[in-house]
């Protein structure tokens, strides 16, 4: 939800970008979603360029930052601070679903323009004041958030500007997050009389209870350094170094065996929902199966032989 408490500067968040770009049909709640794919090497800071009229709602860049296997998904409603309209939710859902079964190693979610994401599209929400509509909307958003967690590939949030309400929720649901030192975060729906209930789910699983609840009850912003201190983001860097920091983190993950990374991510989230004994049982089984992978056997043997592992074996 777009709820930063500054109603006088609320951008026009009508649905845009619905035509003129390369599109593909995917299995979402709408018949068609608006996605453009590119694989060219882009200059630093490209994720923050303003979009031209009639461009896609999600821009998909392959081998992003010059790192093979990294796909960047750029939310592309810059004039609306990338507010999550229904069409944008569908486009992002379709993009993630299409990546799940590929050999992509890491996914980066970024935002075009001056902000990462300002949350739900409040104008769109206000235009349909019915319980059934709101329930369907939040179910759609929940499906997207769970898709991120269930995706085999690690997902990194590249955060600049503001990340508010569902935008902050999106950061919290990503596996990792790198933020510019000027980024700010808030779950400020309470300022409009709407408690950020769905964002509270991942927020309470990233931050301490009291910190999360303070953000939810006051709607106040925290800066990037506090977000890192509280566990919402992993790394904070100057604005001009944001792409390099994202690339470095993605490259580090890509250098590891894909089998270990994917098994590890899946295990990490499943065991969190279990009791300690059940978690250990699942972790032990996962680790035993992982050890039977050729990549793990090679890695252990390389350690014994005091040499660098050759993952091609």
Q: Tell me, yes or no, whether 176 and 237 share the same domain.
A: yes
Work out whether strand 222-223 and strand 184-186 pair parallel, antiparallel, or are unpaired: antiparallel
| The total number of structural domains that make up the chain | 2
Average pLDDT over residues 97-110: 96
Mean pLDDT of the chain: 85
Last residue of a domain, one of 254, 273, 289: 254
Looking at residue 146, what is its pLDDT? 97
Same domain, 154 and 135: yes
Q: Are residues 60 and 162 in the same domain?
A: yes
Question: Is residue 55's pLDDT more than 70?
Answer: no
pLDDT at 160: 98
pLDDT of residue 246: 98
**Residues 269, 160 share a domain:** no
By percentage, how much of the chain surpasses pLDDT 70?
82
Q: In the prediction, which pLDDT does 15 show?
A: 31
Q: Over 50: is that where the pLDDT of 81 sits?
A: yes
Using an 8 Å Cβ cutoff, are 182 and 224 in contact? yes
266 and 199 fall within a common domain: no
125/219 same-domain check = yes
- Residue 27 to residue 142: CA distance in whole angstroms: 16
pLDDT, residue 35, reads 59
Residue 14 shares a structural domain with residue 117: yes
Please indicate, yes or no, if residue 297 is contained in any of the structural domains. Answer: yes
Statement: residue 29 has pLDDT above 60: no
Question: With 70 as the cut, is the pLDDT of residue 152 above it?
Answer: yes
Q: Note the pLDDT of residue 187.
A: 97
Residues 73 and 37 in one domain: yes
Assign 298 a pLDDT band (cuts: 50, 70, 90).
Answer: confident
pLDDT band for 77, please (50, 70, 90 cuts). very high
Is 131 domain-assigned? yes
Q: What is the C-alpha separation between 47 and 178, in angstroms, rounded?
A: 14
Asked if the model's pLDDT at residue 72 lies above 90, the reply is yes
CATH of the domain at 167: 3.90.226.10
pLDDT at 6: 41
Do 126 and 224 fall within a single domain?
A: yes
Evaluate if residue 257 carries a pLDDT over 80: yes
Question: Could you tell me the pLDDT band of residue 301, with boundaries at 50, 70 and 90?
Answer: confident
Look up the domain containing 267 and give its range.
258-305
CATH number of the domain at 301, please. 1.10.12.10
Q: How confident is the model at residue 311 (pLDDT cuts 50, 70, 90)?
A: confident
| pLDDT for the residue numbered 294 | 86
pLDDT above 50 (res 104): yes
pLDDT score of 9 more than 50: no
Assess whether pLDDT exceeds 60 at residue 1: no
């Amino acid at each position: 939800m777009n709820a930063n408490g500054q109603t006088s500067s609320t951008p026009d968040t009508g649905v845009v970008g619905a035509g003129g770009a390369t599109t593909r049909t995917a299995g979402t709640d709408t018949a068609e979603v608006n996605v453009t794919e590119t694989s060219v090497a882009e200059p630093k800071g490209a994720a923050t360029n303003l979009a031209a009229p009639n461009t896609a709602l999600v821009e998909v860049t392959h081998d992003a930052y010059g790192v093979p296997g990294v796909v960047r998904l750029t939310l592309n409603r810059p004039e609306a601070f990338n507010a999550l309209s229904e069409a944008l939710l569908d486009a992002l859902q379709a993009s993630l679903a299409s990546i799940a079964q590929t050999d992509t190693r890491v996914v980066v979610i970024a935002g075009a323009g001056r902000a990462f994401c300002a949350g739900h599209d409040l104008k769109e929400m206000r235009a349909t004041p019915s319980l059934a509509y709101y329930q369907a909307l939040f179910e759609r958003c929940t499906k997207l958030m769970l898709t991120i967690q269930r995706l085999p590939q690690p997902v990194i949030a590249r955060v600049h500007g503001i990340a508010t309400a569902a935008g902050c929720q999106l950061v919290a649901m990503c596996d990792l997050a790198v933020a510019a030192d000027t980024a700010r975060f808030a779950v400020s729906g309470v300022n409009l009389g709407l408690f950020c209930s769905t964002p509270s789910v991942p927020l309470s699983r990233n931050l301490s209870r009291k910190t999360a609840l303070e953000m939810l009850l006051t709607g106040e912003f925290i800066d990037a350094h506090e977000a890192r201190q509280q566990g919402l983001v992993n790394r904070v860097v100057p604005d001009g170094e944001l792409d390099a920091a994202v690339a470095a983190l993605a490259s580090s993950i890509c250098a590891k065996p894909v089998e270990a990374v994917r098994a590890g991510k899946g295990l990490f989230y499943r065991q969190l929902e279990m009791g300690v004994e059940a978690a250990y049982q699942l972790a032990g089984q996962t680790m035993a199966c992982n050890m039977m992978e050729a990549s793990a056997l090679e890695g252990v043997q390389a350690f014994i032989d005091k040499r660098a592992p050759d993952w091609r074996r």
